[in-house]
Structure 1
Amino acid sequence: MSQTAREENSLEVAIVGCGIVGLITAAGLLRRRIKVKIFEQGQGLRELGTGIAFNPAAQGCLEMIDPGVTMALQFGGAVGLSAASGEDHHDCLRWIDGYNQRNENDPYFQKYYLKTNAGYRGIQGIRRDHLLEELIRILPPDTVVFKKRLVDIVDRGEGETLVLKFADHTMAEADAVIGCDGIKSKTRAMIVGPDSTAGNPTYTHVNSYPTVIPMEKAVLALGEYKAKTFHNHLGPDANILHYPVAHGTMCNVTVFVRNDENWPSDKPTALIGHRKDIEHRFKNWNPTIKDLIKMLPENLPTWAIFDLWDYPLPYYNKGRVCVAGDAAHASSPHHGAGAGMGIEDALCLSVLMAEALMKLRKTKLTKHQAISAAFTVYNDSRRTRSQWLVNSSRRICDLHQQREWADPEKCLKAESTLEEIRDRTYKIWDYDGRRMVTKALEDYDVIVSRLEKGSVPKVEVTGGERNQHVTASQCHGAEEVAPSDAEQTASTTLSQGASPTKGAKMLLTTNISVVGTLPTVTG
């Protein structure tokens, strides 16, 4: 359906993926009166009951996206990482010796290495599944459509909507598509092309064992203060971190172990692990850690950690399609900032799309121009910082798991890297979301002004290594050349697949159009 047949002064966005970033992005767009539909390939919400934490920068962005999201955190049981102890008024991260026994009179003694202060309720932890349940409650009931596995996105050109094609042979239309579909993103593959290595996930040679245990068990192993505050226990080729969740009634525990072997391409990245395997890896560690491991379930999830470090994306958008969160910059979890970085993306996209909607109502820009320009600014605003996180997360893991921690003669060398850990941590926390928004809006205004004046021969619609452009004739509505009937019929798919048949019957639903089964094409 042509955009002229739809509401000219409205925007309809399709989000691919119903994870944390997808839901929060939807909340931000809806708050700004932009129509949204989320398409999720699963049959329902799928997050495990493990923990996730939000740093000061992420929390500031959440409040700007939608105060309702901040309330969802509280209703879902978010707790400050130090608040459960009742002793600390500020939330802090603590790095501590998890390996050595430094006191002959007290084998459980652990040396504190580093403490970083995030301020009052500066870092809040919550169970992932509880957060998803609360986030979906703040959206209109028909926002999410499940069992929709994306197979293609078709861009039919200026004046036409994008068409999303799904594995069940249905379609949907939207003015823009935001891929929040994770590290295995189908949307990302359509942006960079099927033959590109950009965005190929690679194994980090680290496996994680995430779980939650009752706080009572954590207290028995760690003591009350350690159990109810964030601690990261460092040692050779491994580290263990924990923090309170679920209003302080549960303790989230994640074990990270290095694996020098390659991960087979046909092997699932999520498996069921066994406590005995972890116990063997930590048999020489401090007794406190061995006691904690005894409290873990006999069977627990194990994840092979992949990221986009080796093959980063050169750009996050192509025309009216972009990616956010892990789909754009999947990182290892050692900074605990992957979701927070996606929340920064969500704020940037929400504000820019709202600005695009305003420009549609006040200028002669087409939807294609307004959206493409917004996504270009989004790419330029977000790519450098988020790619830095991917790199820094790898580096932080190396520092956490230095073999020098176990060598009395080299431990001092390992301790000399603590300042680097501190600096990298504060670079994440001290980010100013308001400044990001201000700069993005200024950059967007510059592009819009040039588009209106027609003073730029080519306006780039793809960030980074840009390879697609809006031509000068498209920049100025009065000079736009009308396409021929053949050109109107022809359509270009982002993945070079077949276009939907012209005249396929469209079955409209609320906001985004969900299209019926594709007809058989003959001849």
Structure 2
Amino acid sequence: MLNRPIRRVLAAPFHRSNKTIMDRQAKDAPLDIAIVGCGIIGTVLALGLLKRDINVRIYDQAQSLREIGAGIAFTANARKCMSMIDHRIVDCVTAVATANGDPENPNNNMQFIDGFTHDPDDPTADDMTGKTLYKLCAGPRGFEGCHRAQFLDAVTELIPEGVNHLSKRVEEVVDDPNGGPVTLTFGDGTTATADAVIGCDGIKSRIRQLILGPDNPASYPHYTHKIAFRGLVPMAQATAQLGDYRARNQHMYGGPSAHVLHFPVAKQALMNVVAFVTDPADWPLDLAMSQPATKGEVAAAFASWGPTVRSIIDLLPPELDKWGVFDAWDHPAPTYARGRVCVAGDAAHAAAPHHGAGAGIGVEDALALCALLEGVQRSVRGQGARKETVLKVAFLAYTAVRRERSQWLVRSSREAGEIYEWNDPVCGADMAKGHEEIKRRSHKIWYFDIEGMLDELKMEYSRRLVPEL
């Protein structure tokens, strides 16, 4: 709760005591929420809560604001959620997003093609002629790439001064069972208090560990046995090698136990390339998820592929990054909350990137939490509800409504990777079957009933709240 000075009351109307007035001031004070993690989801959530007259402080262990990774895309449903959180967030997407294809006539398709099959006796021949290019329309502006760091920079500029607190690594969170504030203890020995804590601290979330327990395998992400090699290519080089259409439009190339994705970012100044390779080895959790790599490693993995894919790999810089792909599918979190502490985004349901929807689902979480906490504030102010009680109710409702869809995404993202890599037991190497299966799954993500989610949240909150009032 804010440490606002309470003015001395000389003559309380109707002979109310000072304690009564202080209780009224406490009830009318805004909620005070601590967010752990100042990445995309934490920042978007903070903007939504601030817009709803809820006090927010963000704590992050980093010494400076930064976002890892290269490309990210938001489809129409994610942008609609953003507009309902704070319309300025959509403006941030527009400011940094890159049109797919011709900016005057954008191509809204995700595109899939066989990148492996070719004539081995003529390794330099055109291997794309005669192949089907499968297209999946994502709707108006449905596939626009952003550079993660540019988008985070844009939304962070909207955060008021004094909200972000860096170099604050959370060690413990204690939820006072007697209704006092939740206390956060940081690695530097300092503490902070809040009415509730929301962990948006990513795939290795400390808050998830505190909710589920250190011995619970669901407290930690697990290796999917996929490596992602990432690189950015100057668009001039990409168009010279691939032609204008291929370089400036998203393409995904399928093949055995690997696949390659590229799409334009940075207002088409760069082509973002991600090459996924199946890895039978282990990747220890204590090893950083990003490791240095060389183009030679990627080239070796795709040496038997068609000339188009090999030419894309040849565009990569000599040194690049490789990422171990982790997710939360092997051991899904059984709950997203305990008491007045909850998790959102990757901290709750980290997914492999094969649907390109992890951030979008996290934005849905942020909208859900904004709606619920706005309802909590109304309950406290209008109905005299106990703040600590209704916060717990809100987080229970959040888990009840959000868990099924978000965990489905975790599973489907893992399975989509196998479809792209011809390992799915039904689709195999049949790209037509694979395209139809990806279409079915993508539509479930894109055509989500946002208003229905908000109605369900309201119903769950109200149903659980009545016995508590």
Post-superposition CA distance 1:400-436 (Å, at most 9, x none): 112699xxxx976454332111101111111122221
1:475 maps to none
1:199 maps to 219
- The match for 1:71 among 91, 97, 116 is 91
Aligned residue type for 1:21: I
- The match for 1:94 among 87, 111, 116 is 111
Structure 1 distance, partners of 2:339, 2:393, is 8
- The match for 2:456 among 416, 439, 451 is 439
1:141 maps to 161
CA shift for structure 1 position 451:
2.4
Aligned residue type for 1:273: A
Aligned residue type for 2:266: A
1:81 maps to 100
- The match for 2:322 among 302, 327, 330 is 302
Indicate if the aligned counterparts of 1:2 and 1:159 stay in contact, CA closer than 8 A: no
Q: Which moved more, 1:151-160 or 1:169-178?
A: 151-160
1:255 maps to 275
Structure 2 distance, partners of 1:438, 1:89, is 34
- The match for 2:445 among 425, 428, 433 is 428
SS, match of residue 271 in structure 2: strand
Structure-2 change in CA distance of 1:364 and 1:265 (3 Å): closer
SS, match of residue 38 in structure 1: strand
CA shift for structure 1 position 230:
1.1
Q: Does 1:375 align with 2:395?
A: yes
Post-superposition CA distance 1:187-236 (Å, at most 9, x none): 01111122222232111000001222211122122211111111111111
Structure 1 distance, partners of 2:68, 2:205, is 19
CA shift for structure 1 position 159:
3.0
Structure-2 change in CA distance of 1:398 and 1:411 (3 Å): closer
Structure-2 change in CA distance of 1:371 and 1:95 (3 Å): same
The runs of 5 or more residues in structure 1 that have no matched partner are: 453-523
SS, match of residue 93 in structure 1: strand
Structure 2 distance, partners of 1:83, 1:185, is 40
Structure 1 distance, partners of 2:225, 2:438, is 20
Matches within 5 A, 1:300-339: 300-339=320-359
Structure-2 change in CA distance of 1:90 and 1:275 (3 Å): closer
Indicate if the aligned counterparts of 1:49 and 1:212 stay in contact, CA closer than 8 A: no
Structure 2 distance, partners of 1:265, 1:244, is 31
Aligned residue type for 1:447: R
Aligned residue type for 1:81: N
CA shift for structure 1 position 283:
1.4
2:467 maps to 450
Q: Does 1:7 align with 2:19?
A: no
1:107 maps to 126
Indicate if the aligned counterparts of 2:113 and 2:431 stay in contact, CA closer than 8 A: no
Indicate if the aligned counterparts of 1:27 and 1:139 stay in contact, CA closer than 8 A: yes
The runs of 5 or more residues in structure 2 that have no matched partner are: 4-21
Structure-2 change in CA distance of 1:412 and 1:49 (3 Å): closer
Indicate if the aligned counterparts of 2:265 and 2:271 stay in contact, CA closer than 8 A: yes
1:384 maps to 404
Aligned residue type for 1:28: G
Aligned residue type for 1:8: K
Matches within 5 A, 1:126-137: 126-137=146-157
Indicate if the aligned counterparts of 2:2 and 2:32 stay in contact, CA closer than 8 A: no
Aligned residue type for 1:354: E
Structure-2 change in CA distance of 1:173 and 1:15 (3 Å): same
Structure 2 distance, partners of 1:116, 1:227, is 18
- The match for 1:419 among 436, 452, 461 is 436
1:468 maps to none
Indicate if the aligned counterparts of 2:209 and 2:220 stay in contact, CA closer than 8 A: no
Q: Which moved more, 1:415-424 or 1:381-390?
A: 415-424
Percent identity between the aligned chains?
A: 38
Post-superposition CA distance 1:361-412 (Å, at most 9, x none): 111211111211111111111100000011001101111112699xxxx976
Aligned residue type for 2:317: P
Structure 2 distance, partners of 1:89, 1:109, is 22
CA shift for structure 1 position 311:
0.7
SS, match of residue 79 in structure 1: coil
1:464 maps to none
Structure 1 distance, partners of 2:445, 2:455, is 19
SS, match of residue 174 in structure 2: strand
Structure-2 change in CA distance of 1:440 and 1:145 (3 Å): same
Indicate if the aligned counterparts of 2:114 and 2:431 stay in contact, CA closer than 8 A: no
Structure 2 distance, partners of 1:48, 1:187, is 20
Say how many residue pairs are matched. 445
Structure 2 distance, partners of 1:101, 1:2, is 66
- The match for 2:306 among 274, 281, 286 is 286
Structure 1 distance, partners of 2:125, 2:279, is 32
CA shift for structure 1 position 91:
0.8
Structure 1 distance, partners of 2:125, 2:417, is 29
Structure 1 distance, partners of 2:354, 2:171, is 32
Structure 1 distance, partners of 2:147, 2:106, is 22
